[in-house]
């Protein structure tokens, strides 16, 4: 394609930049081509180290402003248009990418497509696509996951925060396919880039020599499952357990609530024209953040008691030596209070100490506020660009910054994971509180799941989730206002098939729901009475909507011969959270893994 045609497709924008580096010919909008080229040359070094050789040609990559320009460029080059955010055309030997909503994922796609380009050219001179989809995509995702500070590229890492959160998505998919490594290698289970990334990351970090041998076989076009078995043999339970443990250990500690965040070197960067939130998945004893203002007027700080995007509070520090305390309740901003703060000795430092069920906040070493802890803790930024250098202290783990190596979690892997974050643990009780639908899923599907529900606040609308395949596809049974049970289905991200049922009320005020799962069928019962048997392949769990409920439950694992607990039996006193707990309900999360 001529440079004139490129300029036309890119809107003839004078901001279009072009650079030739040692290894790449790059044309780009918005992101300077010189920066893209420097990043790609460092990727080239990493890929050469892995493959042991490099293509002997200058490789082309183009970065377009939007999807339409991207599509037109591919069609103009007479290549098949396959959609997506990026594409490597083997016959044209060129990579095409268009700008994504976040800077991080734009770079991720550049690295991903450039890895395909390098791989295809070095494996068989671009004439034939290497075998095994999980291997091709997993390798591209491995080198796509990165940390870039503008000068130095690190690939094959797990950033502290990304909107996509591949480790969490991989863990959920791995549990859905029951960790069947051979089926993943054969391509019959575990579909999705997060799982492919996880498998390549696991082998690169733990079995690099074996993965190198497997890579050569797959590049020669050998049968994926046969190649796997020739290197690893049969996938043992020990290997499956090791793989899952690796994914758990490499979990990202932060969650991007509103798209404004990425890791930049040793900092977490927040940049947004409106309010942006990031929350830690586990509440530490201490969170301290030094804030370096990069652009705009400072308006940033800590988020606390985060329950959902509609329910949280913030401490925000302003450039004029004031801090605001702001609550968001039911999706509305409320209770704005201004507090003077001490002048900084250099950059502003905000901190939250979590002790005895309270958050204690300080700015520049001076305490300014305290609040009961009832949710997650994190960062916020509004109408500015800030680098947060964060320190945390969690229990006996000691202090850590984001440069530290993450240590494996102690104790057993928590059996639950929240689909939408409205859940926490109090003693032996799970609590769900949400203004909208909140779902928590049991990782290993039991034969029997039974729960007793205690309404704490609102009108009761809660129950069991079953047939869970994704946040877009699942079913629920909900008790509605102590009068009826509703069977509700969510299919293709739409609510469908709401069917009410009349139910007997229990003698106590707490309803008991249970399900028995046999193959792909689920039998539902309410207060000891069978309601219905349904076809419902998928995982099971809990749900809550527009209320606050405490769940006491007795999951019966696969093969457990113990008799089912008596639904009428009152839980032991140590299960009762009626009195305010002396210790923080977030400090020990035995049940949850985000």
Three-state SS letters, 347-372: CEEEEEEEECCEEEEEECCEEEEEEE
Q: What's the half-sphere exposure (Cβ side, CA atoms, 13 Å) at 189?
A: 14
Examine the pLDDT at 6 and tell me if it is beyond 80.
no
Q: What is the rounded average pLDDT of the residues 150-173?
A: 94
- Residue 273, Cβ neighbours under 10 Å: how many? 11
State the SS3 of 35-90: HHHHHHHHHHHHHHHHHCCCCCCCEEEEEECCHHHHHHHHHHCCCCCCCCCEEEEC
Question: pLDDT digit string (tens) for 224-275?
Answer: 999 999 999 988 989 998 999 999 999 999 999 988 999 999 999 999 999 9
| Higher local confidence (pLDDT), 527 or 386 | 386
| Higher local confidence (pLDDT), 468 or 128 | 468
Secondary structure element (H or E) that encloses residue 417, with its range: strand 416-418
Q: Which fold has domain 1-129?
A: Zincin-like (3.30.2010)
User: Cα–Cα distance between 306 and 546 in angstroms, integer?
Assistant: 16
CA angle 115, 470, 459 (to 5 degrees): 140
Contact 589, 284 (CB under 8 A): no
The residue extents of the domains of the chain are 1-129, 132-252, 255-401, 416-575
| Relative orientation angle of helices 33-51 and 133-144, to the nearest 10 degrees | 130
Of the options 1.10.10.10, 2.60.120.560, 3.40.1390.20, 3.20.20.80, the CATH number for the domain spanning 255-401? 2.60.120.560
- Answer yes or no: CATH 2.60.120.560 is held by domain 416-575: yes
- CATH code: domain 132-252 is 1.10.390
Give the pLDDT confidence score for residue 502 in this predicted structure.
65
Give the pLDDT confidence score for residue 294 in this predicted structure.
96
Contact 441, 419 (CB under 8 A): yes
Closest to 592 in 3D by CA, of 414, 449, 439, 408: 414
CA angle 371, 373, 378 (to 5 degrees): 95
Kindly write down the DSSP assignment for every residue of 217-249, as one continuous string. Answer: HHHTT--HHHHHHHHH-S--HHHHHHHHHHHHH
Give the pLDDT confidence score for residue 1 in this predicted structure.
42
Closest to 123 in 3D by CA, of 90, 81, 87, 85: 90
Question: pLDDT digit string (tens) for 346-384?
Answer: 899 999 999 888 999 999 999 999 998 888 999 999 999
Residue in the block written with tokens 């939130």: 277
Pairing of β 59-64 and β 24-28: parallel
Pairing of β 473-480 and β 461-470: antiparallel
Examine the pLDDT at 203 and tell me if it is beyond 80.
yes
Judge whether 132-252 and 255-401 match in fold. no
Question: pLDDT digit string (tens) for 542-572?
Answer: 999 988 899 987 644 333 333 334 444 444 4
Token digits of residue 217: 């076989």
What pTM did the predictor assign?
A: 0.70
Composition of the chain by helix, strand, coil, percent to 5: 25, 40, 35
Contact 167, 247 (CB under 8 A): yes
Beta bridge partners of 360: 353, 370
Beta bridge partners of 326: 314
3-state DSSP assignment of residue 513? strand
DSSP 556: B
Give the pLDDT confidence score for residue 421 in this predicted structure.
60
C-alpha dist (Å) from residue 63 to 9, 11, 55, 149: 11, 13, 21, 20
User: Cα–Cα distance between 527 and 568 in angstroms, integer?
Assistant: 8
Residue in the block written with tokens 């994704």: 470
At residue 465, φ and ψ (nearest 5 deg) are -110, 140
Report the range of poorest mean pLDDT among 57-71, 74-88, 110-124, 441-455: 441-455
């Amino acid at each position: 394609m001529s440079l004139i045609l490129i300029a036309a497709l890119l809107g003839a924008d004078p901001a279009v930049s072009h650079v030739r580096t040692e290894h790449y010919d790059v044309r780009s909008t918005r992101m300077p081509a010189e920066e893209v080229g420097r990043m790609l040359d460092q990727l080239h070094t990493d890929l050469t180290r892995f493959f042991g050789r490099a293509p002997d040609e200058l490789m082309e990559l183009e970065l377009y402003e939007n999807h339409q320009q991207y599509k037109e460029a591919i069609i103009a080059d007479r290549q098949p248009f396959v959609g997506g955010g990026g594409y490597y055309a083997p016959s044209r030997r060129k990579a095409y990418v268009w700008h994504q909503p976040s800077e991080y994922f734009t770079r991720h796609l550049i690295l991903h497509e450039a890895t395909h380009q390098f791989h295809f050219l070095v494996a068989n001179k671009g004439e034939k696509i290497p075998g095994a989809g999980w291997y091709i995509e997993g390798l591209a995702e491995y080198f796509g996951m990165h940390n870039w500070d503008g000068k130095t590229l690190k690939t094959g890492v797990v950033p502290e925060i990304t909107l996509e959160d591949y480790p969490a998505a991989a863990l959920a998919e791995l549990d859905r396919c029951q960790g069947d490594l051979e089926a993943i290698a054969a391509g019959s289970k575990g579909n999705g880039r997060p799982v492919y990334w996880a498998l390549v990351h696991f082998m690169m970090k733990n079995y690099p020599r074996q993965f190198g041998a497997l890579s050569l076989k797959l590049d020669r076009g050998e049968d994926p499952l046969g190649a796997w078995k020739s290197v690893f043999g049969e996938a043992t339970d020990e290997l499956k357990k090791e793989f899952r443990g690796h994914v758990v250990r490499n979990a990202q500690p932060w969650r991007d609530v509103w798209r404004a965040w990425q890791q930049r070197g040793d900092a977490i960067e927040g940049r947004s024209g409106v309010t942006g939130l990031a929350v830690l998945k586990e509440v530490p004893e201490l969170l301290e953040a030094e804030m370096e203002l990069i652009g705009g007027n400072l308006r940033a700080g800590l988020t606390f008691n985060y329950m959902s995007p509609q329910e949280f509070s913030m401490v925000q520090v302003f450039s004029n030596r004031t801090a605001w305390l702001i609550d968001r309740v039911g999706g509305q901003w409320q209770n704005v209070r201004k507090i003077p703060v001490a002048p900084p000795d250099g950059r502003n430092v905000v901190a939250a100490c979590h002790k005895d069920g309270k958050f204690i906040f300080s700015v520049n070493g001076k305490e300014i506020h305290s609040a009961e802890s009832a949710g997650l803790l994190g960062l916020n930024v509004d109408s500015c660009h800030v680098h947060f250098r964060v320190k945390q202290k969690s229990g006996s783990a000691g202090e850590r910054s984001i440069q530290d190596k993450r240590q494996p979690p102690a104790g057993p892997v928590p059996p639950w994971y929240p689909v939408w974050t409205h859940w926490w643990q109090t003693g032996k009780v799970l609590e769900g509180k949400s203004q909208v639908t909140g779902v928590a899923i049991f990782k290993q599907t039991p034969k029997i799941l039974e729960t007793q529900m205690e309404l704490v606040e609102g009108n009761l609308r809660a129950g069991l989730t079953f047939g869970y395949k994704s946040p877009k596809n699942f079913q629920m049974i909900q008790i509605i206002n102590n009068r009826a049970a509703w069977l509700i289905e969510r299919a293709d991200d739409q609510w469908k098939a709401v069917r009410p049922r009349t139910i007997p009320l229990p003698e106590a005020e707490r309803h008991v729901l249970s399900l028995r799962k046999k193959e792909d069928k689920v039998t539902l019962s309410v207060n000891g009475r069978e309601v219905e048997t349904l076809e419902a392949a998928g995982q099971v769990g809990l749900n809550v909507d527009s209320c606050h409920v405490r769940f006491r439950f007795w999951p019966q694992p696969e093969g457990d011969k113990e008799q089912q607990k008596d639904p009428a039996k009152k839980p032991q006193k140590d299960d009762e959270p009626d009195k305010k707990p002396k210790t923080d309900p977030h400090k020990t999360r035995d049940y949850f893994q985000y």
